[in-house]
Structure 1
């Protein structure tokens, strides 16, 4: 594999993205791949500072402000970390990316999805992941998991909000079936990790 490869992990809150992305990175490194692991919002000094504001349960942020802050984080992460890594032939694994904004702000907040797609293109310089893993989990199960670790600002949103987000992800998976692959996230951690790994490796060597 000479050129870089970009994988994102998506899903509603509590689906296990962080756990699974870390396991995927570990497996790929064992295979000898040069891997960069990052996340949204965050991944850079600037974006990590904004992340604290976005996820602080005490922050009062309007939907539009929230959208623009996420896009600002994405623009910085893409320019500073993701694009340089891909251009140098590395595999980039990212917890959430542009799809998350469509699901959370487009479906959850009901902001204009056409505008969100345009902003995503601007923030990412039209970069699209080679592969997106959508960890599909029942909303109630996901929210129950978040209760165990303490909820951030978005996790504290209503059940209806999270249902809309989950629907948004399913909608995206139907719109982009070649890129987005759904993986049921209600098995054991190891079972889910193996499914993800198989999908990623097949795509890497295609």
Structure 2
């Protein structure tokens, strides 16, 4: 008797500049998917593994001094471990992986923000996960002045990336929008100036259609 094959899970990511509020919606999306009877693997980048979390702490520490190439390579080093230990196994089990940031963040922050060669980032992307891209990416877009005000009022100490000048975050935002324009079939761009309730209604509508389209 043939062994039934497990349908591959789906890979969903959340992206946006610091202060866009994307992380606020992670629990909502996870719960929504679970309510549809789906098993969810919730994770984040950099992070998701023991090594990844250690690198996250290092990369976001304001005291860390590191070259742009090293920073970019460390992001992909953490990503490689993340893919091998968490993301790929979960997808193979048929789980839906919900990841707070992925390679789009590297393109936006290291590429757009810091000016690292996009060709070099693309080479690393092809080397680390040539056969895998998110199936759906929510991009929470917000003007940089609003994002700055949100970060200021968050009550949390700014990390190494958040401390960058507004011009840096503006370049990150533009890189995100360019990335989304190049892959409109994957990106769902959301106006993060909307209320949490409005955004969650838009997310639910999108997920309902996405789940329906993905059924065999």
Residue number in structure 1 paired with 2:118: 113
TM norm structure 1 = 0.96
Residue-by-residue CA offset, 1:24-81 (whole Å, 9 max, x unaligned)? 0011112211001100000111100000000011111111111001001111111110
Residue number in structure 2 paired with 1:103: 108
Would the aligned equivalents of 1:131 and 1:200 in 2 still touch at CA under 8 Å? no
More moved, 184-193 vs 157-166: 184-193
Looking at CA atoms only, which structure, 1 or 2, has the larger radius of gyration? 2
Q: d(CA) in 2 for partners of 1:30 and 1:21?
A: 14
Residues 1:71 and 2:76 are matched in the alignment = yes
Residue number in structure 2 paired with 1:33: 38
Residues 1:167 and 2:174 are matched in the alignment = yes
More moved, 190-199 vs 177-186: 190-199
Residues 1:157 and 2:199 are matched in the alignment = no
Residue number in structure 1 paired with 2:132: 127
Number of equivalent positions? 206
Q: d(CA) in 1 for partners of 2:55 and 2:175?
A: 24
Q: RMSD of the TM alignment (CA)?
A: 1.3
More moved, 147-156 vs 89-98: 147-156
* Runs of at least 4 residues off by over 3 Å: none
1:191 to 192, 195, 198: 198
1:90 to 88, 91, 95: 95
Q: d(CA) in 1 for partners of 2:210 and 2:125?
A: 24
Q: d(CA) in 2 for partners of 1:189 and 1:12?
A: 17
Residue-by-residue CA offset, 1:119-172 (whole Å, 9 max, x unaligned)? 012222431000111101111111221222221100000111100000000000
Q: d(CA) in 2 for partners of 1:37 and 1:140?
A: 30
Residue number in structure 1 paired with 2:189: 182
Residues 1:16 and 2:21 are matched in the alignment = yes
Q: d(CA) in 1 for partners of 2:121 and 2:12?
A: 21
Q: Could you say what secondary structure the match of 2:59 adopts?
A: helix
Would the aligned equivalents of 1:107 and 1:164 in 2 still touch at CA under 8 Å? yes
Q: d(CA) in 2 for partners of 1:39 and 1:143?
A: 22
Q: Could you say what secondary structure the match of 1:134 adopts?
A: strand
- The runs of 5 or more residues in structure 1 that have no matched partner are none
